Amino acid sequence: MYKKKFFFVVFEGIEGSGKSYQSKKLYQSIIKKGIDAVLTREPGGTKSAEEIRKIILKDYFYKDSKTQFDKYTDTLLYLAARNEHIKNTIKPAYLKKKILICDRFIDSTFAYQVYGKGVNRHFIDSVHKCILGKIKPDLTFVLKIGISKALQRLKKRKKKNRYDKFSNSFYIKAQNAFIKIAKKNKNKYYIFDNSKDSKDLEKKILQIVFKKIKYKNARYK
């Protein structure tokens, strides 16, 4: 049995951490139980936000640094995509009391733009104050991974984007930021090492979510 309500789950981590894979697995397991769920991502998640995503990704393939966006322009594009995402995907899921599973959300902005690139935190907070409203994750899974293992996974990707081409030091800085954020909010965050390709993690994540949403007889099958 399950009492229908909105519940917002986010997966965070650096490239190659397995967050996209785990978010898809969680979504598949939940809908198999007949529970309404939405799987989405950032940047993106709506037609308009996906168009902004293309602009962001394209910028990072320019070799000439003079043609690349300033870090604040880059951040504003992410926030613009988030605004579209909130209006057209997240809030509708909230109103329809669905389970929302998102591959990246605001912590990625803090990890990459604030900790990684030095964007002013107050700048981002001021925009979030206007666009987030009451929307905030109920549960966040931070997946950490050894950098060498992450790079191995990235090499196997047929299609690469800007996220797959940062330096090792940047990935380390971003991962440390995710962990730091999670440790400050232990009641809503879980940190898992996803260096091993094990299905046990899928089970753990599903069990935690079912417990949080009070889904009875929530045994993983």
Q: Which segment of 63-67, 101-105, 108-112, 151-155 scores lowest on mean pLDDT?
A: 63-67
Pull the structure tokens for residue 21: 């894979």
Residue 43, preceding bond cis, omega within 30 degrees? Answer: yes
**Model confidence over 75-118: pLDDT tens digits?**
999 999 999 999 999 999 999 999 999 999 999 999 999 999 99
State the total domains in the chain: 1
- Supply the pTM of this predicted model: 0.91
Please check whether residue 218 lies inside any domain of the structure. no
Please check whether residue 205 lies inside any domain of the structure. yes
Please check whether residue 1 lies inside any domain of the structure. no
Q: What is the pLDDT of residue 1?
A: 62
pLDDT at 162 > cutoff 80: no
Please check whether residue 220 lies inside any domain of the structure. no
**What band does 43 get if pLDDT is binned at 50, 70 and 90?**
very high
Question: Which CATH number does the domain housing residue 43 bear?
Answer: 3.40.50.300
**Model confidence over 125-143: pLDDT tens digits?**
999 999 999 999 999 999 9
Average pLDDT over residues 182-190: 94
Q: What is the largest CA-CA distance in the chain?
A: 57
Q: Which residues contact 105 (CB under 8 A, 6 or more apart)?
A: 10, 12, 42, 137, 140
How much is the mean pLDDT over the chain?
Answer: 90
Count of residues for the chain?
Answer: 221
Please check whether residue 100 lies inside any domain of the structure. yes
Full residue range of the structural domain in which residue 67 is found: 7-212
CB 19 within 8 A of CB 13: yes
DSSP state of 96: T
pLDDT at 37 > cutoff 50: yes
95, 105, 128, 52: CA torsion to nearest 10: -90
Please check whether residue 221 lies inside any domain of the structure. no
CB atoms within 10 A of CB 84: 20
Taking the mean position of all CA atoms in its chain, how far away is CA 85?
13
Please check whether residue 163 lies inside any domain of the structure. yes
**What band does 159 get if pLDDT is binned at 50, 70 and 90?**
low
Q: What is the pLDDT of residue 149?
A: 86
Q: Which segment of 41-45, 48-52, 187-191, 212-216 scores lowest on mean pLDDT?
A: 212-216
User: If we measure between CA atoms, which residue out of 184, 189, 185, 186 comes closest to residue 205?
Assistant: 189
**Model confidence over 96-105: pLDDT tens digits?**
999 999 999 9
User: If we measure between CA atoms, which residue out of 7, 17, 29, 182 comes closest to residue 102?
Assistant: 7
Higher pLDDT, 22 or 147: 22
User: If we measure between CA atoms, which residue out of 87, 91, 93, 52 comes closest to residue 73?
Assistant: 52
Higher pLDDT, 160 or 39: 39
